């Protein structure tokens, strides 16, 4: 059974549950959570779903699906566009796992706040120029193909930033939804190691996951599960440190560092650290971790195989 840590709240530029447990949203998008999709989600790394169904989905079914997602430990973001906001919010606000994606107008957002007795996370979704700054907008839900942009947005907005649409792994006609799996995985790693969150998307065949749900067919999900396991072993309070490294890096200073090298084929990486450190070279695509012998201190270089999509993990010995 999934532990119940309570509703998700905002904690600076991060998220936490009501009991203080950190929450990292591992997100995917589906139109609705029918039984087949629920079964697939239960075995996936995803703990947050953007329900992108149109307003034609009856409220009774939406209510049931939000509850079913909560039963398997998945947060559910509900699109309120085109719906009766007062009725929908009043009906769903009792679910501890519900989030809101609001229309852009402030009057509607005021209605959401009035009828949401649970004070759930509230956002709007759009490109970088969208107004995410209102104090009642708890986090930014951004459409952007460059996950690296997340660090600048976090710094500017001083609230959590989710790149909820950076494209999708797939083979459909739309270029944004026809990414190779390596590119989808790289975008997730890049955004996470720059202090934000990046959503998964998948669009294979005539009935793709992001438009029908059902079954995941791509190669991204198990590799996102690999990244999730790495971060679950990391200490809390990780933050992006743009002034320290020339690669996307999360760290807890003096304790832990995770540096993602992306498509660059570096032959080595220099570090200068006080104390003794253990070093791992991580192949993010093949999902392998290679510990280097001994401990490392002072100025040293990590030799690499000059392959793309590697990461380096540093842990204080």
What is the per-residue pLDDT across 195-245, written as a single tens digit (0 to 9) for each? 999 999 999 999 999 999 999 999 999 999 999 999 999 999 999 987 666
- Res 303 pLDDT > 60: yes
What pLDDT sits at residue 210? 95
| Region 18-24 average pLDDT | 94
Q: Residue 189: which pLDDT band, with cuts at 50, 70 and 90?
A: very high
What pLDDT sits at residue 2? 60
- Res 113 pLDDT > 90: yes
Q: What is the residue extent of each domain of the chain? A: 8-232, 239-316
DSSP of 75-96: EEEEE-TTS-HHHHHHHHTT-T
CATH topology of domain 239-316: Immunoglobulin-like (2.60.40)
- Res 282 pLDDT > 90: yes
Q: Residue 157: which pLDDT band, with cuts at 50, 70 and 90?
A: very high
What pLDDT sits at residue 242? 77
Share of the chain above pLDDT 90, in %: 95
- Res 165 pLDDT > 80: yes
- Res 1 pLDDT > 60: no
DSSP of 16-59: EETTS-EE---EEEES---HHHHHHHHTSS--EEEE---TTS-H
What pLDDT sits at residue 245? 65
- The CATH code for residues 8-232 is 3.20.20.80
If we measure between CA atoms, which residue out of 157, 300, 315, 297 comes closest to residue 250? 315
């Amino acid at each position: 059974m999934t532990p119940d840590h309570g509703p998700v709240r905002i904690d600076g530029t991060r998220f936490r549950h009501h009991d203080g447990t950190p929450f990292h949203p591992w997100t995917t998008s589906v139109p609705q959570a029918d039984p087949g999709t629920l079964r697939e989600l239960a075995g996936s790394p995803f703990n947050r779903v953007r329900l992108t169904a149109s307003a034609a989905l009856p409220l009774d079914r939406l209510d049931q699906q939000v509850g079913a997602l909560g039963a398997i430990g998945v947060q559910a973001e509900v699109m309120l566009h085109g719906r009766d906001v007062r009725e929908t919010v009043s009906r769903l606000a009792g679910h501890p796992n519900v989030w809101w994606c609001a229309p852009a107008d402030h009057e509607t957002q005021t209605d959401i706040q009035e009828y949401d007795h649970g004070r759930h996370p509230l956002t709007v979704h759009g490109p970088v120029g969208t107004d995410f700054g209102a104090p009642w907008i708890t986090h930014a839900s951004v459409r952007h193909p460059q996950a690296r942009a997340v660090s600048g947005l976090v710094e500017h907005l001083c609230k959590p930033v989710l790149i909820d649409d950076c494209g999708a792994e797939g083979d459909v006609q739309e270029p944004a939804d026809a990414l190779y799996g390596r590119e989808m995985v790289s975008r997730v790693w890049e955004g996470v190691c720059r202090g934000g969150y990046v959503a998964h998307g998948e669009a294979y065949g005539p009935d793709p996951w992001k438009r029908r749900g059902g079954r995941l067919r791509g190669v991204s999900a198990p590799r996102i599960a690999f990244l999730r396991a790495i971060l679950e072993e990391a200490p809390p309070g990780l933050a992006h440190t743009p002034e320290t490294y020339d690669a996307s890096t999360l760290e807890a200073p003096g304790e832990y560092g995770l540096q993602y090298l992306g498509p660059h084929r570096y032959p080595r990486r220099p570090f200068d650290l006080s104390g003794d450190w253990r070093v791992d070279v991580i192949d993010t695509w093949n999902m392998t971790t290679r510990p280097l012998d001994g401990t490392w201190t002072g100025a040293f270089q990590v030799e690499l195989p000059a392959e793309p999509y590697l990461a380096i993990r540093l842990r204080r010995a």
